[in-house]
Amino acid sequence: MTDSSTSVMADEKKTIESAIFQRLGRVIDPELGRSITDLKMITGVEATLRTEDSGYTLPVQAAEGERIYDVTITVELTVAGCPLTERILNDITAAVTTYPGAMLIPKVSVSSMSQEKLTGLVAELKAARRQNPFSNSHSKTKIFAVVSGKGGVGKSSVSANLAATLAALGYDTAAIDADIYGFSLPNLFGVRSQPTNLDGMLMPVTAWGVKLMSIGMFAGTDKAILWRGPRLQRSLQQFLSDVWWGTPDVLVLDLAPGTGDMAISVAQMLPNAELIVVTTPQPSASEIAVRAGLISLQLPGHVRGVVENMSWYEHGGERLHIFGEGGGERVAQKLTDSVGYEVPLLGQLPLETEIRTDAEAGRPAVLREDGSLDDSEIARTFTNIATHLMA
């Protein structure tokens, strides 16, 4: 081999290594929402030319005269046993094998970061986040706090299906189960795992496209939470500040029923949050639901609309109004009169057995098993609600 050809091959090797590193910059860590090169997870890219006399069998799909390189990618994941390792490695492989200039055979070597490197990365991420990222004046995240005057009206079901719908529509969606005493989002999304602890910073659990955080992921579904007001406030502060949310398009909060400590904490920490009031048709529920919306008169916040749940049950083609009629309209009108701006009735949801069975199976009722939006009436209603909220 001449010096000239050796030089050409050396230049080609450098070009490939540089190009692959740039392509890996498009691979995003699903939990942190940043490229794996920015996160310093790629510690080496080395291309080695395959030759006939090197002992390798050339791939049958190689074109005649096409150069073939083995490309060794050295990856350091943030933690050992990262649950999204396979997804990251698949994305790395795709970045290598779709390189147009030559046939590249990827070989990925995986390890985890040293404690020193991980500590430095977490410090950098925390500095970039600057405490509660959603109260930042530059935050573009829409925040919807789902509230109700009383329990049992389906507030958590509305929260879960709204978040799942937003995610299915393509929005980067986060959800916080702020109902500390009656947490239910883990069950509604089928979550059985705990968040990954990244050296003191938590990664939200992603289910059905939604980034989730709930005290139920730590306490277990069979535990009772006995906390006073100050500890409730600290729990919300930790959910906002000690969790790496990235920059979601929308955040849905499932609040406890009524107008207690958590509602006040949300108003203080997230003054840009908009309220979605959930009620059922009967007067006893709708009258109490108005009070939940009226907290906007005493605290920061804007009432975005009302959702009426359990509006009817369909039997034999006939709609049976088991809980009466008009509750959602009454709440919307009373809030409009009280707050001085229009509070619309965003939608009415039927009473359906499928909502319960899907929830028990750990899947929001608006989704099919493959995660796409269903074509049911409830899915169409939530799609209309989500579209209106994000308009």
With respect to residue 137, please indicate whether it lies within any of the assigned structural domains. Answer: no
CA angle, 54 then 56 then 62, to 5°? 115
How far apart (Å, rounded) are the C-alpha atoms in residues 167 and 339?
Answer: 31
Both tokens of 118, joined, read: 């991980």
Check whether residue 161 and residue 199 sit in a common domain.
yes
**3-state secondary structure at position 391:** coil
Q: Provide the number of structural domains found in the chain.
A: 2
The pair phi, psi for residue 320, each rounded to 5°, is: -100, 120
Other CB atoms within 10 A of residue 248 CB: 25
CATH code of residue 330: 3.40.50.300
User: DSSP string covering 54-67, please?
Assistant: GTPPPPTTSPTT--
With respect to residue 94, please indicate whether it lies within any of the assigned structural domains. Answer: yes
Check whether residue 81 and residue 146 sit in a common domain.
no
Q: What pLDDT score does 296 carry?
A: 64
Residues lower than pLDDT 50 in the chain: 60, 224-229
Check whether residue 162 and residue 238 sit in a common domain.
yes
With respect to residue 134, please indicate whether it lies within any of the assigned structural domains. Answer: no
Check whether residue 99 and residue 149 sit in a common domain.
no
Print the domain residue range for 40: 3-113
Q: What pLDDT score does 226 carry?
A: 44
DSSP classification of residue 225: P
With respect to residue 15, please indicate whether it lies within any of the assigned structural domains. Answer: yes
Check whether residue 84 and residue 150 sit in a common domain.
no
pLDDT tens for 107-142 read 998 998 888 888 888 887 777 665 566 766 677 899
How far apart (Å, rounded) are the C-alpha atoms in residues 118 and 113?
Answer: 6
User: DSSP string covering 352-383, please?
Assistant: -HHHHHHHHTTS-TTB-TTSSBP-SHHHHHHH
Last residue of a domain, one of 71, 94, 113: 113
Other CB atoms within 10 A of residue 384 CB: 13
How far apart (Å, rounded) are the C-alpha atoms in residues 305 and 284?
Answer: 19
Last residue of a domain, one of 96, 113, 130: 113
**3-state secondary structure at position 317:** coil
Largest Cα–Cα distance in the chain? 91
Last residue of a domain, one of 94, 113, 132: 113
Check whether residue 385 and residue 252 sit in a common domain.
yes
Q: What pLDDT score does 45 carry?
A: 92
pLDDT tens for 141-193 read 999 999 887 778 889 999 999 999 999 999 999 999 888 777 889 899 998 88
With respect to residue 315, please indicate whether it lies within any of the assigned structural domains. Answer: yes
Does the reported pTM lie above 0.75? no
With respect to residue 105, please indicate whether it lies within any of the assigned structural domains. Answer: yes
Check whether residue 147 and residue 83 sit in a common domain.
no
Check whether residue 158 and residue 107 sit in a common domain.
no
Assign residue 189 a region (left: φ > 0; alpha: ψ between -120 and 50; beta: otherwise): alpha
With respect to residue 259, please indicate whether it lies within any of the assigned structural domains. Answer: yes
Check whether residue 254 and residue 152 sit in a common domain.
yes
Check whether residue 226 and residue 318 sit in a common domain.
yes
CATH code of residue 108: 3.30.300.130
Q: What pLDDT score does 379 carry?
A: 94
With respect to residue 266, please indicate whether it lies within any of the assigned structural domains. Answer: yes
The pair phi, psi for residue 169, each rounded to 5°, is: -80, -5
Check whether residue 146 and residue 105 sit in a common domain.
no
CA angle, 188 then 189 then 195, to 5°? 125
Check whether residue 204 and residue 150 sit in a common domain.
yes
End-to-end Cα spacing for the chain: 64
Of the candidates 47, 21, 46, the one whose C-alpha atom is nearest the C-alpha of residue 36 is 21
